[in-house]
Structure 1
Amino acid sequence: MTLPDDEYLGYLWAIGEADEFCTAEFEDFVGLDYDESELLYTSLYPSNESWTWKNDREILCLITAADEAPTTGTLAGVMR
């Protein structure tokens, strides 16, 4: 997701935007609602510095296994 090219509204705003986006996309990607899944997500989002100096506007969502078992390949459609 690319955030609008407006003013950076702070760390909590960036986290909120990332959480909203990643949870909304989770079910379509994994095939299961986030609250029902054994998988976890984390997100990468712009900091004030990257927003200002690198023109960073991108949010990325990363999905991992909660049990720390290694995963390879995509988790698209795994329904777990």
Structure 2
Amino acid sequence: MNPTRRPRTPAVLAATLAAASALFLTACETLDGRIEQFQQDFGKATLPSIAIGECTNLEGTPPEEEEVTHIPRVPCGTPHKWEAYAELQLELTADFPGDEALTSQADDFCWDEFFAFAGIDYEDSELEFFPLTPTEDGWKTVRDRTVTCLIGLEDGGITGTLKDAQR
């Protein structure tokens, strides 16, 4: 005896399609989340970084040829030297522009962002700034395209944020 298959009704087909779509979307979201987490973990493992609003006692303003390999973070409520105040993401598809061009672009960006953060023009401020820029090796091997601007005083002694400090 051959059982006869009943034709599927549009409602059954729609329910099956909806369930399959939901399963597919859930799998995609999970994969996207894993890829994003991997990229974040990979970046944390290979590139020194500091988030906007975080503070550091990074020693000195590094010479252009010196590579920063570690950025020690400290609570902004304790005495510190520098605070990250702006960040620029450069084009992923661009070729490395060269150290001089990159430094010039970074200086211009940090200069332009200084007033918005500190509430005073750089020329009138006692504070200093310097940009952390990608190296050519980081640009090519790990696609580092982040310029981070630091504001503060080389001598340190800053407590709290410099946001709107007007000094």
Fold agreement, TM-score > 0.5: yes
* Structure 2: unaligned runs, 5 residues or longer: 1-87
Partner of 1:76: 163
The residue correspondences of 1:1-80 to structure 2 (distance < 5 A) are 1-5=88-92, 6-65=94-153, 68-80=155-167
Deviation of 1:55 after TM superposition, in Å, equals: 0.6
Equivalents in 2 of 1:53, 1:72: separation in Å? 37
**How many residue pairs were aligned?**
79
Flag the structure with more relative contact order, 1 or 2, with Cα contacts below 8 A and sequence separation at least 6. Answer: 1
Equivalents in 2 of 1:30, 1:20: separation in Å? 16
Tell me the C-alpha RMSD between the 2 structures. 1.1
TM-score normalised by length of structure 2? 0.46
Equivalents in 1 of 2:98, 2:149: separation in Å? 19
Larger radius of gyration: 2
TM-score normalised by length of structure 1? 0.92
Any runs of at least 4 consecutive aligned residues in structure 1 with deviations exceeding 6 A, and if so which? none
Deviation of 1:4 after TM superposition, in Å, equals: 1.1
Percent identity between matched residues is: 35
Deviation of 1:73 after TM superposition, in Å, equals: 2.5
Equivalents in 1 of 2:97, 2:153: separation in Å? 31
